[in-house]
C-alpha cells in the first residue's frame, strides 16, 4: 500500500462521530470521537484502525471483528465505552481497507492473524495488563492462539460464535465446504459471486422475523466498499483463512492446557453458523464462564449492543 493510497483512504474514511458525552476532571464535557487512521505492522501489513480515546481511561478494549465485517461493526460499542475506556478496533488483512498481500507472502491463516494481533498491540503501545480483548467469529481463534504463546497478552479475553475445534456437526454447510479441499474452490467462487446477497442477508439469516435487526447504512457501505479493495477480495481472504483452519484448530486443541489467560465465552442462542454446543465444549474444557444469549444470533455485538458493552465493563471489575 503506497503512501498516496494511505492518504486517499484516510481522507475518504476519516470520521468524527459521537453518541455519548465524556466529562473531564475539570467539568468540561465533549463528544467522544471515533478516529480512523492507518498503522504499519510490518513490510507487508498496514491496518486501518479506529481508536476512541477517553480522557482518563480505566483500561483499554480491543475489538476483533469477523466475516464479512469491518471496524464499523464496533463503532457504536466503542463510543458507548468511551466514558471509561480507550477503545481500539482494526480491519483484519483482507477486510475493509487493510493490506491484502499475495498469499505466497501472507496466508491469512488464524496463526498469521495471531501474529498481526501481537504486532498491533505492540505498535499501538497498549498496556496488556489493562487490556480486554473482545473477539468474535474469525477474530476469536487468533486471540486464543496468541494467548497460548503469551499468557499475559491481555488481562481478559471474551470470545464467542466461532469454531475453536474441528467439529463438522456444529458448523453451517457453506463454511464446511470452505474447509474441504474438494469443494473449497467452488465455495470461494460462490462467496465472490454473491457479495451483495451476503452483505444483505448474513446478519439476519436464521433469525425469526421479529428477531431480525438492521446494521447501519454506514457500516453496510463500508463493507461493500472494502470487499474488492486490493488484489484479493474479502471472500478470498476468508477462503484462505479456512484453507488453514483445521490445522490451526487442531493445534489449539492439542495445546489447550497451555491456555492461562482468563477467558469468558459468550454465544448467541440462535447462531445458525456455529452451534452453541461448540461454545459449551470450549468453556467446559478450559473452565471458563459460558453465557448463552437468548434470542440472539451469530452477531451478539450487533444484535444486542447494551449486552456487549456490559460484558466488556464486567471484565474490568
What per-residue confidence (pLDDT) applies to 33?
85
The pLDDT of residue 131 is above 50: yes
| Region 168-193 average pLDDT | 95
What per-residue confidence (pLDDT) applies to 118?
98
Q: Name the average pLDDT for the chain.
A: 91
The pLDDT of residue 4 is above 60: no
The pLDDT of residue 138 is above 60: yes
| Region 185-200 average pLDDT | 95
Q: Are the CB atoms for 132 and 312 separated by under 8 Å?
A: yes
Q: How confident is the model at residue 233 (pLDDT cuts 50, 70, 90)?
A: very high
| Region 225-243 average pLDDT | 96
What per-residue confidence (pLDDT) applies to 276?
97
pLDDT digits (tens, 9 = 90+) for 75-107: 999 999 999 999 999 999 999 999 999 999 999
What per-residue confidence (pLDDT) applies to 307?
95
What per-residue confidence (pLDDT) applies to 153?
98
Task: For each of the domains in the chain, give its residue range(s) and CATH number, in order of start.
Answer: 3-315 (3.40.50.1820)
The pLDDT of residue 250 is above 50: yes
Q: How confident is the model at residue 13 (pLDDT cuts 50, 70, 90)?
A: very low
pLDDT digits (tens, 9 = 90+) for 251-307: 999 999 999 999 999 999 999 999 999 999 999 999 999 999 999 999 999 999 999
What per-residue confidence (pLDDT) applies to 32?
83
The pLDDT of residue 14 is above 50: no
Amino acid at each position: 500500500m503506497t503512501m498516496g493510497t494511505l492518504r486517499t483512504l484516510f481522507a475518504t474514511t476519516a470520521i468524527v462521530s459521537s453518541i455519548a458525552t465524556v466529562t473531564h476532571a475539570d467539568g468540561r464535557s465533549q463528544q467522544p470521537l471515533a478516529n480512523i487512521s492507518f498503522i504499519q505492522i510490518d513490510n507487508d501489513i498496514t491496518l486501518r484502525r479506529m481508536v476512541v480515546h477517553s480522557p482518563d481511561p480505566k483500561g483499554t478494549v480491543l475489538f476483533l471483528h469477523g466475516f464479512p465485517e469491518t471496524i464499523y461493526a464496533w463503532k457504536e460499542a466503542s463510543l458507548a465505552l468511551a466514558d471509561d475506556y480507550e477503545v481500539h478496533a482494526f480491519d483484519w488483512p483482507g477486510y475493509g481497507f487493510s493490506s491484502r498481500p499475495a498469499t505466497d507472502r501472507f496466508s491469512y491463516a488464524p496463526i498469521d492473524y495471531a501474529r498481526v494481533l501481537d504486532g498491533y498491540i505492540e505498535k499501538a503501545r497498549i498496556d496488556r495488563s489493562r487490556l480486554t480483548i473482545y473477539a468474535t467469529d474469525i477474530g476469536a481463534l487468533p486471540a486464543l492462539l496468541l494467548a497460548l504463546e503469551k499468557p499475559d497478552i491481555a488481562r481478559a479475553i471474551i470470545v464467542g460464535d466461532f469454531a475453536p475445534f474441528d467439529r463438522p456437526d456444529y458448523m453451517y454447510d457453506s463454511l464446511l465446504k470452505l474447509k474441504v479441499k474438494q469443494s473449497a474452490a467452488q465455495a470461494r467462487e460462490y462467496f465472490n459471486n454473491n457479495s451483495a446477497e451476503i452483505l444483505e442477508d448474513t446478519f439476519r439469516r436464521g433469525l425469526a422475523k421479529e428477531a431480525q435487526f438492521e446494521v447501519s447504512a454506514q457500516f453496510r457501505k463500508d463493507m461493500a466498499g472494502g470487499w474488492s479493495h486490493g488484489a484479493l477480495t474479502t471472500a478470498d481472504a476468508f477462503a484462505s483463512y479456512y484453507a488453514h483452519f483445521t490445522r490451526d484448530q487442531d493445534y489449539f486443541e492439542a495445546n489447550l492446557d497451555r491456555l492461562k489467560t482468563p477467558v469468558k465465552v459468550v454465544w448467541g442462542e440462535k447462531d445458525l453458523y456455529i452451534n452453541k454446543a461448540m461454545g459449551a465444549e470450549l468453556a467446559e474444557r478450559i473452565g471458563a464462564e459460558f453465557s448463552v444469549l437468548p434470542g440472539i444470533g451469530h452477531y451478539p455485538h450487533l444484535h444486542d449492543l447494551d449486552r456487549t458493552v456490559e460484558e466488556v465493563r464486567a471484565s474490568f471489575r
